[in-house]
Amino acid sequence: MARRENPEINAGSMADIAFLLLIFFLVTTTMNVDSGVSKKLAEKPPEDYVPPIIKEKNIFEVNINRNNELLVEGERMEIEDLKEAAIAFIDNGGGIGKVEEGVATGPCTYCKGERSESSSDHPNKAIISVQSDRLTEYGMYLTVQDQLLRAYSELRNRLSMEKYEIPFVELEEAYKDDKDNEILKQRVERIKTSYPQIISDAEPTN
């Protein structure tokens, strides 16, 4: 008796409800992608591990004290000069490279450094050691890491421009887009092994 015909549901407020939800998600949404400085830790050495003997000249020592001041190779330095100093050290190429998988890498042919006797032999032997105090500010520590990484990427970029006439970042991106491309893979690998990032964190002082 009561239901003679289906009354139409009023959909006029549908838009209002949708708007309400929309605004909620607009407010809660976060679009920013996390970014950060990537680092790969060294594996825990076994108990009886004897560290290899490394020549003093192949180590680039960076110390940060608790007042956030830099000491590089025994001399005070401002953060602005760190990158240039690191490049000069890595790119020195004063001797012959290490033997990798039975193949001697020989002298560094692509280095443009001073080839000084007292600095690093070859980019693949050049080790950057960062030592900081426990009370050093984290911001400073990360700035130093960032500057050192910039030194490497600058060198990689230069080599990539010389060999393939394309910045290394673009080369890497091209490879990421086309993972099966063997030529790109080889190029990326070659540049990476030409200037391997060897940054070690020494135990902090107290």
Which residues bind to another protein, rule: CB under 8 A?
11, 14-15, 18-19, 21-22, 25-26, 28-31, 33-44, 64, 132-139, 141-143, 145-146, 149-150, 153, 201, 203-204
Q: Which is nearer to another protein, 7 or 139 (CB)?
A: 139
Q: Which is nearer to another protein, 74 or 139 (CB)?
A: 139
- Name 56's Cβ contacts closer than 8 Å, sequence gap at least 6: none
Q: Which of 148, 174, 172, 168 is nearest to 156 (CA)?
A: 168
Q: Return the amino acid letter for 188.
A: V
Residue 74, Ramachandran bin (φ over 0: left; ψ between -120 and 50: alpha; else beta) = left
Q: Which is nearer to another protein, 56 or 78 (CB)?
A: 78
DSSP state of 104: E
Nearest distance in Å: CB 49, another protein: 14
Secondary element (H or E) of residue 87: helix 79-90
Q: Which is nearer to another protein, 57 or 152 (CB)?
A: 152
Nearest distance in Å: CB 44, another protein: 5
Nearest distance in Å: CB 117, another protein: 31
Secondary element (H or E) of residue 85: helix 79-90
Tokens for 149, please give them.
């990484």
Q: Which is nearer to another protein, 49 or 138 (CB)?
A: 138
Nearest distance in Å: CB 147, another protein: 9
Quote the CA–CA distance of 130 and 62 in Å, as a whole number.
5
Quote the CA–CA distance of 51 and 58 in Å, as a whole number.
15
Nearest distance in Å: CB 137, another protein: 6
Nearest distance in Å: CB 63, another protein: 12
**CB-CB neighbours of 108 under 10 Å:** 26
Q: Which is nearer to another protein, 121 or 154 (CB)?
A: 154
